[in-house]
Structure 1
C-alpha cells in the first residue's frame, strides 16, 4: 500500500450496476463524514464486456434519485495490480468473491470479502444483480449498498484510517 489513505475496491460482474451504485453510495457517505479525503473508493468488474461504458442507465437514474451522480463513472475490468493498490476488495456476491479470490495472489486473498458482510450489515449477504430486473430492483440494490456505505463509514471511523484495516 503506497498511499496513507484507505483504498476500497467494489467488485461485481460487469461494473455497470451494483459496483457503480456501491461506489457512488460509498463516496457520498465518506465525503459527508470526517473520513472525507482519507478513504478512496473505486469499482471494477470481473468481466470486461462493458469496459469503458458508463453505468447502466437505470443505475444512473437510481443514484440520481438519491442525490448521487455516477454518470461519469466508466466500467473497467479487475486488474492484477488492484490486489496491491487496494486495502480491501469488496465483492457484491459469492460468485464474484470466488472469482476474485481465485485471481488474487495468496497474500491478498485475506483482503477479499463480501461487501455486505465486511460492512457488518448482512452476514454472508449478497447484493442481487438487478441487470435483468426493473427500477425497483435497482432501488433494492441502492438500499443495500447505501446501508452498507453508512456501516463502512462507522467501521472506518472507529479504527485508524492509515494503513491496512484488519478484518
Structure 2
C-alpha cells in the first residue's frame, strides 16, 4: 500500500482539499486498493474539526466527497509511515523537516506541476480565494498521481 499524506497549517483548508481531490482521483482510476490518502496540519488549532466551509463548498460543487475528513496534527512518525508527505508551502515543509527525517518523499505539492508559476499553494483561510486554491491543488494532485503511477509501474486501472 502506497501511503500519501498532505500537510498544511491547520488541516482545514488546503490539505483536506488535497486529500479529498486525490482520493477522488485514486478511486476514479480504480487504485484505492493500492493507494491510501490522509491529511494533517502542523498546528493544533482545529483538531477533530471538519474542513473549512469554503473547502467543503467547492468539493461539493465538484462532486468530490469530504465525508469523514477531520483535522489532525501531523506527528513525527507520519514522516516514516507515509511514502509521500506533501506540504502545501515552504513553511509547512520547513516545519515537517524539523520533525525528523522522512522515510520517503518529502516535498511540496508544486513539485508535481511542471512549468507552473507558483511554488506555494496560497492559504484561502487568509486569502479567501478558495477557487484559486482548488485549481492549484487539483493540478498538483493530478501530477502527483501520474508521478506515483509512473514511479511504481501502476497502470490506470488495476483491480
TM-score, L = length of structure 2: 0.88
Asked whether the 8 Å contact 2:109–2:141 carries over to 1, the reply is no
Deviations 1:147-167 (A, max 9, x none): 1111122112222269xxxxx
Task: Tell me, yes or no, if structure 1 residue 155 matches structure 2 residue 147.
Answer: yes
Shift of 1:111: 2.6
Shift of 1:24: 0.7
Shift of 1:36: 3.0
RMSD, aligned α-carbons: 1.9
Give, in whole Å, the separation in 1 of the partners of 2:62 and 2:88: 20
Q: Which moved more, 1:88-97 or 1:143-152?
A: 143-152
Shift of 1:35: 2.6
Deviations 1:68-102 (A, max 9, x none): 12143100000121112101110000001111011
Deviations 1:103-131 (A, max 9, x none): 123xx1763101121x2343771100000
Q: Does the residue aligned with 2:36 lie in a helix, a strand or coil?
A: strand
TM-score, L = length of structure 1: 0.84
Q: Which moved more, 1:139-148 or 1:13-22?
A: 139-148
Structure 1 runs of 4+ with >3 Å offset: 120-124
Aligned partner of 2:74 among 61, 75, 78: 78
Which residue number in structure 1 is paired with residue 157 of structure 2?
none
